[in-house]
Amino acid sequence: MATGHTALGSTALGATGYPRRRAGSRWRTAIGLGALAEVAVFVLVAGQIGVAWTILLTVATSALGGALLARQGTRALGELRERAQGRRPAGRALGDAGLAAAGALLMVLPGFLGDLLGLVCVLPGTRRLPRALIARGIARRVPDRWLGPVRVRATRAEPVDGTRYPGPAAPGGPRVIEGEIAP
């Protein structure tokens, strides 16, 4: 890996020769844009219903988030305790408990967009969406060697030159195998 020297020290260079961005800077950017969006939505809502009602609504959603955090946390701990006593794997129950806790925490924090995201994480019917997004994000970062075997079912085999041969094996030369990956 090539390194470049800057005024602040050495940084890792990507394949393009430009410094690679760190994940921390992406998070800071996302949090900053989220805070800016929250302020914009707060101002828009305050312009529509008034400042006092907007503050009251923010306090109410924070109180609801606190109640949900306590309720969901107690429920999740109880379910995890039952699974541990029954020697069953936590699996999805642990993920749901984490999503419910994160959603309730988002609702405790002031802001309407955070409340909306928190509600999506807390409600059991809508929890599939954040679970799928998180799973896809994690799957992109997992090395291929950790994923295990891949099973392939072949549907047709023919030589590279395009001529077809009867039977399972074509005589000589490389073959093109069309197929689909089966789970």
Domain boundaries, the chain: 30-136
Type of residue found at 41: V
Query: Per residue in 134-162, pLDDT tens?
Result: 888 888 888 877 776 767 666 655 555 55
Which pLDDT score is estimated for 20? 58
**Per the confidence metrics, is the pTM higher than 0.75?**
no
148 conformational bin, left if phi > 0, alpha if psi -120 to 50, beta if neither: left
b/e for 166-181, b at 16 or more Cβ within 10 A? eeeebeeeeeeeeeee
Question: Which residues does residue 31 pair with via DSSP β-bridges, in sequence order?
Answer: none
- Does pLDDT of 12 surpass 60? no
